[in-house]
Amino acid sequence: MRIGLSINYAGGFKDVAADVADLERAGLDVVFVPEAYSFDAVSALGYLAASTERVELASGILQLYTRTPTLTAMTAAGLDYVSDGRFILGLGASGPQVIEGFHGVPYDAPIGRTREAIEICRQVWRRERVQYQGKYYTVPLPPERGTGLGKPLKLINKPVRERIPILIAALGPKNVELAAEIAEGWQPIFYLPEKAGDVWGEALAAGRAKRDPALGDLEVYAGPSLAIGENVEPLREFVKPHLALYIGGMGAKGKNFYHALATKYGYGPQADRIQELYLSGDKEGAAKVVPDELVRDINLIGSPGFVKERVAAFREAGVTTLTVAPIAGSLAERVKLIEELRGLVD
């Protein structure tokens, strides 16, 4: 099982780069760079490529709607080049709050667009002349939609790899099925090992049934918060505002993916109350309603024995990478946590 870490996208990545180099030496395997509405992820990934040696670098995630598929492919090939073949292309639809609210682009057909974008990316990496006729993307544009001067082109540079690993962030059953069918990896959120099969088992099985064996086994990336030690359980309270934000605030009633996930986990009444409080402006009250059991089970916060047991549960549920969020106040503490987790994982 590998260990990953997602950097804080709200800060400056120059300082983070030095931290990642130390974490790499502590046993970190992959670092994720998010992209929401702060600095772009690509700049940070390029910066990290120059300041690290072994750790894999992943976009976590590049938003599906904000780049054309060919630009996404070019960007991934460039990052794979500057990192000497260490890049993982994390793709996802994000949500309408960011896509429509910040980018002013319609949030439509995430599943169909994801499939087509990936198919186009792989054409680009194989250095084929890109010719694609899809429902959502057509390359090159036909004369009736453009000047008529466009012609099929192929990537000038030869990529380091013609198959850069693709990781899809997905929650809904159709999108999860798609990830299991066509991607090298799948990144869920708030992964609860004991309930994951009930929520996603059918979708994963359906996707795997159509999977090309050349893709290999599906990698599963879970993202728990991390704190190891005696009497660290009170730190679970720090996770609750984050959960309340997603369950309560990431979408209107009936259109919140994370609320739906909490409901499927068996916390429907609590999810309703969290959403009610959050949307009314009572964020603190919403955080207090987040169930202790949910926080306990989706995270790695507890004694070494507890964390070891939870690591085993994640592994048993099929997780191959733990993309942790260390709860620590200093780089030294984060490095220590990664070293401790390395010992428990191995």
Pairing of strands 87-92, 132-133: unpaired
Predicted confidence band of residue 36 (pLDDT cuts 50, 70, 90)? confident
Residue 304 in this model has a pLDDT that exceeds 70: yes
- What pTM did the predictor assign? 0.95
* Segment 318-334 mean pLDDT: 96
pLDDT tens-digit readout, 163-202: 999 999 999 999 999 999 999 999 999 999 999 999 999 9
Predicted confidence band of residue 17 (pLDDT cuts 50, 70, 90)? confident
pLDDT tens-digit readout, 50-103: 999 999 999 999 999 999 999 999 999 999 999 999 999 999 998 888 899 999
Identify whether 61 is preceded by a cis peptide bond (ω within 30 of 0). Answer: yes
Both tokens assigned to 224 = 């728990």
Residue 9 in this model has a pLDDT that exceeds 70: no
Residue 272 in this model has a pLDDT that exceeds 90: yes
182 vs 162: CA distance, rounded Å: 15
**Predicted local confidence at residue 105, as pLDDT:** 96
**Predicted local confidence at residue 266, as pLDDT:** 98
Q: Decide if 31 contacts 51 (C-beta within 8 A).
A: no
CATH 3.20.20.30, the chain: domain bounds? 2-229+299-345
Burial of 63 (C-beta count, 10 Å sphere; 0-12/13-18/19+): buried
Q: Decide if 69 contacts 121 (C-beta within 8 A).
A: yes
* Segment 243-255 mean pLDDT: 93
Residue 283 in this model has a pLDDT that exceeds 90: yes
- CB count within 10 Å of CB 220 equals 22
**Predicted local confidence at residue 95, as pLDDT:** 83
Q: Decide if 79 contacts 57 (C-beta within 8 A).
A: yes
Strand stretches in 246-306, DSSP E: 300-302
* Segment 236-247 mean pLDDT: 97
3-state helix, strand, coil in the chain (%, to 5): 50, 15, 35
2-229+299-345 is classed in which CATH architecture? Alpha-Beta Barrel (3.20)
51 vs 20: CA distance, rounded Å: 8
Both tokens assigned to 81 = 């080049």
Q: Decide if 183 contacts 218 (C-beta within 8 A).
A: yes
Average pLDDT over the chain reads: 96
Both tokens assigned to 201 = 């088992």
pLDDT tens-digit readout, 206-240: 999 999 999 999 999 999 999 999 999 999 999 99
Q: How far from 12 is each of 5, 46, 234, 239, CA to CA, in Å? A: 16, 14, 29, 22
pLDDT over 90, % of the chain: 92
Residue 285 in this model has a pLDDT that exceeds 80: yes
